[in-house]
């Protein structure tokens, strides 16, 4: 390749967020959010059209534990499935509704992320059919009973102490 046709990969940032974490560190991966709308979450997919559903249609996240590798965002009309590594800071930004964008990693588009960096390997956006049971069935079995109980009555699960 000549110097003119040579392309350079961009640095990868899984997400960006406004504000700070509980420990005082920056909530996102970097802040370049001065002109970003505050009322929506931009979903950037390398191999699909970008979308920006508004927060007012967001209902709740479903995720697989304290250190999630899978997050499902429920909107009134969309289901957004996110898979990756080290997603806990992303989840915190989503729950606070301070997340500006999410984007998936693609090796032809981005430089390889650092080993400690949040990485989104896959984003899948589906028009919602109103059936959360499908999502719950795909979560790990050890969390399934809790999630079903939560989905049925909208209240956090109450754990019963076993009698000895």
What local confidence, expressed as pLDDT, does residue 134 receive? 63
Of 104, 53, 101, the C-alpha closest to 78 is 53
DSSP 133: H
Extents of the domains making up the chain: 33-153
Kindly tell me if the per-residue pLDDT of 36 is higher than 90.
Answer: no
d(CA 25, CA 79): 30
Q: Is the pTM of this model over 0.85?
A: no
For 102-133, write each residue's pLDDT tens digit: 999 999 999 999 999 999 999 999 987 655 56
Are 16 and 33 a contacting pair, CB within 8 Å? yes
């Amino acid at each position: 390749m000549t110097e003119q046709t040579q392309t350079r990969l961009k640095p990868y940032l899984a997400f960006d967020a406004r504000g700070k974490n509980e420990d005082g560190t920056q909530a996102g991966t970097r802040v370049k959010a001065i002109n970003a709308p505050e009322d929506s979450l931009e979903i950037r997919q390398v191999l699909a059209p970008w979308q920006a559903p508004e927060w007012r249609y967001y209902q709740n996240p479903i995720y697989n534990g304290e250190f999630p590798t899978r997050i499902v965002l429920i909107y009134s009309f969309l289901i957004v499935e996110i898979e990756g590594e080290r997603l806990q800071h992303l989840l915190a930004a989503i729950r606070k509704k301070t997340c500006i964008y999410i984007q998936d990693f693609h090796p032809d588009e981005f430089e390889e992320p650092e080993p400690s960096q949040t990485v989104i390997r896959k984003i899948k956006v589906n028009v919602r059919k109103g059936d959360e049971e499908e999502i719950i069935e795909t979560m790990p079995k050890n969390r399934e009973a809790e999630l079903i109980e939560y989905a049925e009555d909208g209240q956090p699960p109450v754990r019963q102490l076993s009698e000895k």
